[in-house]
Structures are given as C-alpha cells and as structure tokens.
Structure 1
C-alpha cells in the first residue's frame, strides 16, 4: 500500500497553484478505481477538475463523505529555505500544500483505499476532491451543480486542524463597493463628480458599523475588513469610478442576503454593493451524535481532547453542507492551520499517520464494517 508521506510528497510535487488540479487527480484516481470506487471528474474549466468517487452508495444509509481540495496558493515573494515542491526533514514534510491541504487529501484517499477491502453493512463512502477552493470553492460549486445529486451522510473536510475536531467556520461574504461619478479636469473639480469622495464616505460609514448579530459562543462576532481600494486614472482628473473590496466574515445564524441589505443601507446610495464570493457559515452542534463520535475517535488515536472550536478560514463545506441538505459536518485534518499559505509550509509526518487512522475509524463507524 502507498505510504501517506510518499503520496503527500507526490501531490506536493505537482504545481497546482491556481491551475491544473486535474494533474493531481490523475495520481489519485487509479488508487481509488483499483479498489472498486466509481470515479468521475468534472472540470469547471480545462485542467481544473473536481473528482467524485463513489463506493457502495446503493445501500439504504447515505454514504459518509470525505472531502479536500488539491489547489494551492502562490509561493510568495520571499525565498523558501526548503524545497517548495516537497522536502522531508525529520518529522516535517515541507512544501506548498503540505498542510493546506494535500496531506489531508492523501490521508482520506489512503483511508478509503483501506476501507474498500471490506464489505460495508450500513453505508458506503463518497470522496469529493475539489479544485479552485482557494478562490471561492468554484470546483465544489460546479460539482454540486453537475454530479452531486445523491443524498449524503455526514461530511468530513480534511483541512488543517492538527487532527482536532473543528465544528464549523465563519462564512466568507466578499463584496465589491462601486462608486461612479463624472470626470473633469483636475483644475476645475466643480465641473465633475468625484467617485473617490463618494467611496471614502461609504467606506467610513461601513468601518464604523457594528453588526446587529450577537456574537456566536464559539465563532465570536462577525467581522468586516476593507481589503483593497482603487480609484481614478491620473492625478489631474476628477475620478469617475472608485472601487473597494470588502471581506465580511459572518457567523452561524446570519443570512447573507440580510447582511447585504444591512450593509447597503449603511453604505448609502452613493455606492453599489455587489457580492463577489458568497460562502455561508457552517456549524455543527458539539453535542451532535456524529460530532461526539468523531471526538472520541480522535482522542483514542491522538490522546488529545479539545474544547469545541471553529476555524478562522472557510472551507468547501460552505457549498457541500447545504448541497447535501445541511448534514452534520466536521473539519479534521493533519495539517497545521498556522502553516497555511506561509513560506516554508510544512506538515507533521506523525500527524499524517494519525490522520489515516482517524479517517479509517470514522469510516468503520459510519459504514458498519
């Protein structure tokens, strides 16, 4: 059987920085097909595919779904001290995507391969290995719209959590604020209508706004951040267009349509707010039976018990959980959350081995093996 470190290293060795995720899926598909999974790849654009693998999904109980993404973010401008496409040094496997989250993908695939040697009594398995997660879960959304039309049991997202069970994450609601005006010569500004001033006033009002929503007991309060602002073409002209992008992180219980209406009212009529990314928050009650079972499995494998927590990042669960009808969802993977997107990203070899065992035990519990 392929070793999880070797498989992770193979995946990390592939450049999937915002492109060519299908190349990584070509490494994984034969492993799954070889043990009886029915595999399909849905590309939302050439070379950018999402793999859906099904095993014994004709049983009465919906299958357990394991998911992860194979795209990665750019390396950054700072020179890496370790090989960015895979270097093993002691307990650390370095490389872009080792923690976020090719290590998690390797672990769920190898766990699924091992489980496929058995006959399920209760339910089967579904794997959803996605593209373009980093830019708004485009691959998961395309798969949900085209090939994921069957019910699902619980969902496990193998994002980096140091193998702890995480019960959800905030939503990511990214907006574009657009102000328009009338251009004129900079020496005669009274003849124009300055879009930058309009945008500045709106952004100032938004920055001072406090959301109506109560803080979530685990996620905390929703947050608001202006990420970019741009306006005008040259110094000696009145700008007739200005644009800011806004990153809103919502909490469980908030409705994004209501959030948009609230922020549009605060911003005022001088700007138009347009959604760019709309990924709702995800939360599973820690007292949920499946979540408790997952906690006990993690404790048995790692010896670590953790308090209920939420991730700061978003995941494909924002798309898959509602697509599957709001199924219980946990996030649990071998990577280190603080290693995501950093220079010299690494994943613990020990965590990788633990993760395979955790996923195998989760599969055994749900599938009835």
Structure 2
C-alpha cells in the first residue's frame, strides 16, 4: 500500500515535469515506470515527437469495463516570478498546501486515479477490467482522447470516470466547444489613396457583425433542458501592418459553447452561410477555418457510475460538499457562500466547460460518464494554482471505493 508521503511525492514529481501544452511523453514514461514497479503493464501511444498518451489495464475476471482518464498536459504557467512558489516546484507549505501548475488541473486527479488503480491491483477488491487512459493535448485540441477513440481504446467500455477538478458535484453533461477563424483578404494601398486599396478590416468588421447576429438569432430558437442555450463570443481580432496603409488582411477568432440542438456543425453552417453571402458582394474575400471541434456531451445523470459515486461519498465526511466548501474558503481566503450556483450537496451537474469526454463519447458504444475529482476550480489556469494535500489523499481513497463498488 502506498503511503501518504509516497503519494505526495508522486504528485510532486508529476508537477515537476513541465508539460505546458506539449512534452507529455516524459510524464507518460514516468507514470509507466511507476506502474511497472507495481506490477502493471502499460503502453505508450505516440501522438507526435515528445508527445505520447499512456494506456494501462488490469483485470480480475469477468465483469464491467471502466475507463479512468486524465490529461497529462497543463496550460502555460506564465511569468514564474508572479508565483508565490515556482510553478513547477510542487512545493508543500506549512499548511499542507501543494503548489504548482497542474496541482488542481489536473495532475492531482490523474495521480489519484493511478494510485487507486494500483491499490485495487494489489487488493483485487473488484471484478472486471480497469483501463487507464492518460492523454496528451486536452487543453488545446483534446488530441489524445481523439486519437485513442479513433484507435478503439474506448469501444468496449461500460463507464468512464474523468478525474477533472469537480469536487462539489458530478459532471454528467457539458457543452461543446467550437473554435474557428475567419480571414479577410484585401488590397494594400497608401492611406492617402484609399480608393486604390481594398480594406480587409472593414470587410472583416462587417462579417463579424453579420455572423454574430445570425448566430444570436439561431441560439434563441434552441434550448436544452440540461445545458441551456449555445453562446458565441469573438475573442481575438488581428489585422493590418502599418497605421498609414490600407490593410490587405485581417482575421478574427471566435469560440462557441454549444448544445446538441444547436451544435458545432450547426454553428459552422451558420458561419458558412454568412460568408458565402458576403463573398458574393464586391470586395469581399473571406475564408473560414475550424481550429477546434469538441462536441457537447449529455449522459445519463442516473447512471450506475454516478449512483456509485453518490453512494460511496456518504462514507467520506471530508469530501461532502459543506466540508469541501469550507476547505476551499480556507485556501482561497474568502467566503463562497454568496455564490448561488454552488450546490449544498453532491449532485449531478451540467456545465459549460469541455473535457476529453467530448472525444471519448464519439466511440462506437455509449457508456456511463462521470467527471469527479480533486481540485479548486477557481484556481484552474491561474497564477498560484494549489491544492490541499488532504483533499488529494482523500480522493485516492474514495476512488478506490468507487471503483470497487461500480465493478462489484
């Protein structure tokens, strides 16, 4: 049985391996060596040079097959000097708070899943199969989950537990995420003679307004009882090269958070329709590029996997919602009681943020989905990301109980 000190050391080691948006192979090999030391075989699935997902499996006779998954990558730490402690130190302070990029999102969840898998391999207190899927590139593109799904690694699963930071609810549904880019081409000219040019920014501005209006009209027609409405935002605009020149190019990027009734493909069709109409007008030369396409996810909120989590959680007072809220308040130094969207008990949740489930649920077989894991979501992607060591340790224990119950 792994001790608490060994569990903390595992997480510290994982944080100290810098996997900012790439370089996941080093971490995948580290976890592979850890699993090998505990008698569990695994394989690397190469995505690109220095980038590989990890797949490991244990079995104990016939029964259900449960996938465990977390991503290996983290977002950029930004300026390390802005952090209280080095973002890749995994430092544990006097209050037993572990600091570092990935402490919450989501190396703690992945480490806890790995350790729960090791514990059940040693105890054999389960029936069926447990398959670990540690993925590359979730933060930008969900590349690993897409690749593993295409390769068939999830086609035979009955359930999937995702260790993303969600400790006060169980996510069973989330919106899709669509990123796209529209580029406008024009003709450069000196700004003193604008009649000789074709202003790409003016045409792009017109396209932004038309596209936003068209999508807004469509979103009002479609509402999902779990996820609400699709929403759309233009987030990046670039163009031109010099202030006294008519710009010959410009572009904008946008993100839509989608629901099944007006999903990614529907948004793309709307954008294409507007672009095609505008391109028929003189001077317009617009091009569309889809840069990320993650589908919405809606699973059964009464599934056996979610029921197992709700049942087992009653045995862990420290992981019940009031205790978790108090713990987060202590770490954040603020009162969370005024946030009306926070549940008072552990319940199934539908959210806007996407996960690797967007890719995994494109498999040949429908399976239970539950997102539940350690972390402080308010600190995800932020400076001074951190996590109480006790919460991480408690999740290792509850994961063991959830897996045993679901697979029994």
Q: TM-score under structure 1 normalisation? A: 0.92
Residue correspondence of structure 1 range 352-363 to structure 2 within 5 A: 352-363=392-403
Contact 1:71-1:133 within 8 A present in 2 as well: yes
One of 238, 246, 255 as aligned partner of 2:254 = 246
For residue 266 of structure 1, report the CA deviation from its aligned partner.
Answer: 4.2
One of 259, 265, 277 as aligned partner of 2:292 = 277
> 294-303 or 45-54, which moves further after superposition?
294-303
The aligned residue for residue 387 of structure 2 is 347
Q: TM-score under structure 2 normalisation? A: 0.83
**CA 1:348–1:47 in structure 2 vs 1: closer, same or farther (change >3 Å)?**
same
For residue 246 of structure 1, report the CA deviation from its aligned partner.
Answer: 0.4
The aligned residue for residue 18 of structure 1 is 21
For residues 308-354 of structure 1, the C-alpha deviation after alignment (integer angstroms, 9 at most, x for no partner) is: 32233211111112225332211111011111111110012222122
Match of 2:403, SS state, is helix
Contact 2:167-2:375 within 8 A present in 1 as well: yes
Match of 2:169, SS state, is coil
Give the distance between the partners of 1:232 and 1:260, measured in 2 at CA: 26
Give the distance between the partners of 1:352 and 1:121, measured in 2 at CA: 22
For residue 213 of structure 1, report the CA deviation from its aligned partner.
Answer: 4.9
For residues 262-295 of structure 1, the C-alpha deviation after alignment (integer angstroms, 9 at most, x for no partner) is: 2333454343332100001112232223222222
Q: Does 1:289 align with 2:304?
A: yes
Residue correspondence of structure 1 range 32-181 to structure 2 within 5 A: 32-56=35-59, 60-77=62-79, 79-85=82-88, 86-89=90-93, 90-119=95-124, 122-146=127-151, 148=153, 150-162=155-167, 164-181=169-186
**CA 1:76–1:328 in structure 2 vs 1: closer, same or farther (change >3 Å)?**
same
For residues 203-256 of structure 1, the C-alpha deviation after alignment (integer angstroms, 9 at most, x for no partner) is: 122333421453333433221111111112223332222110001111244332
Match of 2:106, SS state, is helix
**Aligned-residue CA RMSD in angstroms?**
2.2
For residue 163 of structure 1, report the CA deviation from its aligned partner.
Answer: 5.7
Give the distance between the partners of 1:116 and 1:164, measured in 2 at CA: 28
Where structure 1 has 5 or more consecutive residues not aligned to the other structure, the ranges are none
Provide the aligned length of Structure 1 versus Structure 2. Answer: 367
For residue 45 of structure 1, report the CA deviation from its aligned partner.
Answer: 1.1
For residues 67-115 of structure 1, the C-alpha deviation after alignment (integer angstroms, 9 at most, x for no partner) is: 0011111112361112312111214211110000000011000000001
The aligned residue for residue 325 of structure 1 is 365
The aligned residue for residue 234 of structure 2 is 226
For residues 96-139 of structure 1, the C-alpha deviation after alignment (integer angstroms, 9 at most, x for no partner) is: 10000000011000000001124476411000001111111112
Q: Does 1:6 align with 2:21?
A: no
Match of 1:309, SS state, is strand
Residue correspondence of structure 1 range 196-207 to structure 2 within 5 A: 196-207=201-212
For residues 28-80 of structure 1, the C-alpha deviation after alignment (integer angstroms, 9 at most, x for no partner) is: 112323444331111211111100111128x5545100000111111123611
The aligned residue for residue 341 of structure 2 is none
Give the distance between the partners of 2:299 and 2:154, measured in 1 at CA: 22
Match of 2:92, SS state, is strand
> 303-312 or 269-278, which moves further after superposition?
303-312
Match of 1:310, SS state, is strand
Give the distance between the partners of 1:21 and 1:7, measured in 2 at CA: 16
One of 341, 360, 364 as aligned partner of 2:404 = 364
Match of 1:151, SS state, is coil
One of 334, 351, 361 as aligned partner of 2:374 = 334
The aligned residue for residue 214 of structure 1 is 222
> 188-197 or 139-148, which moves further after superposition?
139-148
Give the distance between the partners of 1:254 and 1:61, measured in 2 at CA: 37
